[in-house]
Structure 1
Amino acid sequence: MAEMGLQSYRFSISWPRLLPAGRGKVNEAGVQFYSDLIDELLAHNIEPMITLYHWDLPQALQDEGGWEARTTAEAFAEYARLCYARFGSRVKLWATFNETIVFIGHGYINGLHPPAVRDPARAIQACHHVFIAHALAVKAFREMAVAGEIGFVNVLQPHTPLTDSEADIKATELADAIHTHWLYDPVLKGTYPADLLAQTQALWGVPRFAPGDDALLRENRCDFIGLNYYRRETVSAQPPEIATGGRAWRGGIILFRA
């Protein structure tokens, strides 16, 4: 990397590598591995940026309910505090989560990733606990006075209608609300998009808020967002009838009526 002239390097820490049970006893060998990596980067004038979560949830926490359990968010805050304590004096840039749309969408909507669930209501509640975990980690970051910035990294996919029809335009607005505002507003604004929140709670009664969640989200917004851009999305109100060689997603992460 130094020979290439790279000035920064973003890497992800493996939660179970530091805390095999998700909380409690620390694996010091895992801590040392990342400490050595950080020192080597700095020795070559490469600024490290840490991502705390890149989909590797400790199995012990999954056995307790995974992201559907609020205790996972609390365990994440403990893990974040450990990382700040061990690495915070040397690392100035932090991200809590990488691509929530992927591990929630694939984990709880289409079942392609663990825990292989296909249930939008469970997806929404799990996603809420991710936002709570993010807010708790941001809160800890500021309480511990880490000298740096903390953000959130997710996919950004601009949406454009397939045609100028009113139906396609409405479908595009809905897709943008689901894929963009639902996933960014809680960490940037501290609130969910009101119209979509009303829909999900009317349909499934989720997300369920614990006392204090509103204030926790509102008071612990991130310093920045990181955008992973892969492609744009062309949206139609009608499901695809013929494969065109590209990838078509029926309903995106969650299917609503426009």
Structure 2
Amino acid sequence: MNRRTFLNYSATLAGGAAFSRFSHALPLASTGAEPPVIDVAGARFPEGFHWGTATASYQVEGAWKEDGKSPSIWDTFAHTTGKIKGSDNGDIACDSYHRYKEDIAIMKQLHQKSCRFSVSWPRIQPNGSGAANQKGIDFYSRYVDELLAAGIRPMCTVFHWDLPQALEDQGGWPKRDLYKRFTDYASILTKALGDRVTTWAIFNEPWVFTYLGYGSGVHAPGRRNFDDFLKAAHTVNLAQGEAFRAMKAISPKAQIGSAFSMAPVEPATDSAADHAAAERFHAINNVYFLYTAKHGKYPDAFVGEAPYEVMGFQEGDGKLMQAPLDWVGINYYNRRIVSDAGKGGNPYTHYNEWMPAEGPITYNGWEVWPRGIYDIVTRISKEYDRPIIEITENGCAYSDGPLPEDSAKVPDARRIEFYKGHLAELARAIKDGADVRGYHAWSLLDNYEWAEGYSQRFGLVYVDFRDQRRTIKDSGHWYGRVAATSRLEA
């Protein structure tokens, strides 16, 4: 997710500023731009558009050691003192492992057509390899059946960051052979659920879990080595290609993509150096795993030749990485401004990046800039020959809670305005030729927001973490009417 730790950590490596949409290399700044006028009333969406919400296993399930599940790197990280705000952890989270029927009933009440969820790898293979844990398979099978009974499309994300700790103990994503373990895991899932799940995302935000986990260390497993990031990213590119082929062999009609974190980028000035720096940002932050899947080689993300030796690149890897993804997932939250860093900055990329602040600011300090979703969707549409696109995440954090005099009501007008603006700009992108098939709000529920713990609320549904009571916010009721009518003024 493109959100959690933006103002709370400095993802800076020795030797230069890091490139991260969770942290900024320079202070928030104004570019002098004016927020564009947005046509909410005129927004239109195609027939059969998939209105949905998104969640992730570690963020909502809880039940962290039930029914044969082993610890993930996030269990370990969250139980390590000083890693998570408030010393929070996902041991219980939203207790969706036990309350999933209630959550799916809420989705149905809100007229949802699609549910993007993820599977916890250590529930399926506690040791990261070998035979499947049948109790884990049975849980996700029940979950999928419940969605289908509610008339909701299950969109399954194979990996949303919770690597089995056993595999991290063996070297984690920087260890090349992990791509083979992941392919085995993806095959188990496809065999178990592929008769009912036809839409799959292989990875969620591969740039985020490789860089923040291994490069900057602000996310699990907390390693801080840029070379480890490069190795991890290469392993993930291999895993994406191999898993795609394995899943297609099992379920030829499956529609398989990945969900990529993307931030539209503008050069700080009109200089050639800043334009080149902005393109490097786009290459490594936005399309480092998409370009590679499409072309079987790395994009021009570095100053000079890519560090293939450090990556562990071997002959034939181009073909292994290549995968003709059926659709492209875009997670959008905010935009970036980039300047050339000269000989400073990261030794491989040499740029500085930051988030501007012309638009309103959310609870966690992020700029609200609806135009950004238009910019990134239309750019990807043009660069990749008009692929099928799904917005796999988009949302905002505000702290609104139930009214003191009426605990059944949660007014959150700012979140409604956020969604109106972004959806109107998405409709404009569709009108201008982008083939967008679905939109998934982040998130259905207030949940565990990674290193931010429970301090940020992104949900359409308020969760009281003391007793797990769910209360649909005004934004949730509004989004339900939108899903029923495909009109933003519903």
> Is 54-63 or 166-175 further displaced after alignment?
166-175
Select which of 197, 214, 225 maps to 1:119: 225
Counterpart of 1:227 in structure 2 is 330
Structure with more helix by fraction: 1
Question: Does residue 1:144 correspond to 2:250, yes or no?
Answer: yes
- For 1:164, the aligned partner's letter is D
What per-residue deviation string (whole Å, max 9, x for no partner) do you get for residues 194-226 of structure 1?
A: 57395332xx723222343222223x3311110
Give, in whole Å, the separation in 2 of the partners of 1:133 and 1:41. 28
What per-residue deviation string (whole Å, max 9, x for no partner) do you get for residues 101-137 of structure 1?
A: 1111111221111232222222111101001111111
Give, in whole Å, the separation in 1 of the partners of 2:299 and 2:268. 24
Instruction: Kindly report structure 1 stretches of 4+ aligned residues shifted beyond 6 Å.
Output: none
Counterpart of 2:150 in structure 1 is 44
Select which of 309, 315, 318 maps to 1:214: 318
- For 1:188, the aligned partner's letter is K
Taking the TM superposition and a 5 Å limit, the aligned residue runs for 1:233-248 are 233-237=336-340
**TM-score, reference length from structure 1:** 0.87
Give, in whole Å, the separation in 2 of the partners of 1:133 and 1:169. 32
Give, in whole Å, the separation in 1 of the partners of 2:125 and 2:162. 12
Kept in 2: contact 1:69–1:129 (CA 8 A): yes
Kept in 1: contact 2:158–2:203 (CA 8 A): yes
Counterpart of 1:26 in structure 2 is 132
> Is 68-77 or 108-117 further displaced after alignment?
108-117
Larger RCO, structure (CA 8 Å, separation 6 or more): 2
Unaligned stretches of 5+ residues in structure 2 = 1-106, 352-490
Select which of 162, 179, 193 maps to 2:299: 193
Question: Does residue 1:257 correspond to 2:350, yes or no?
Answer: yes
Counterpart of 2:424 in structure 1 is none
Kept in 2: contact 1:15–1:79 (CA 8 A): yes
Offset, 1:64? 0.7
Say which SS state the counterpart of residue 199 (structure 1) adopts: coil
Counterpart of 2:175 in structure 1 is 69
Counterpart of 2:282 in structure 1 is 176
- For 1:127, the aligned partner's letter is A
Counterpart of 2:192 in structure 1 is 86
Change (3 A) 1:212 1:165: closer
Kept in 1: contact 2:248–2:254 (CA 8 A): no
Counterpart of 2:266 in structure 1 is 160
Give, in whole Å, the separation in 1 of the partners of 2:221 and 2:109. 41
Give, in whole Å, the separation in 1 of the partners of 2:249 and 2:327. 18
Give, in whole Å, the separation in 1 of the partners of 2:154 and 2:243. 19
> Is 182-191 or 228-237 further displaced after alignment?
182-191
- For 2:151, the aligned partner's letter is N
Select which of 2, 5, 15 maps to 2:121: 15
**TM-score, reference length from structure 2:** 0.47
- Name the Cα RMSD after superposition: 2.2
Aligned residue pairs total 244
Kept in 2: contact 1:89–1:146 (CA 8 A): no
Give, in whole Å, the separation in 1 of the partners of 2:345 and 2:259. 23
What per-residue deviation string (whole Å, max 9, x for no partner) do you get for residues 65-115 of structure 1?
A: 000112211111111111011100001100110011111111122111123
Say which SS state the counterpart of residue 115 (structure 2) adopts: strand
Counterpart of 1:242 in structure 2 is none
Change (3 A) 1:28 1:213: same
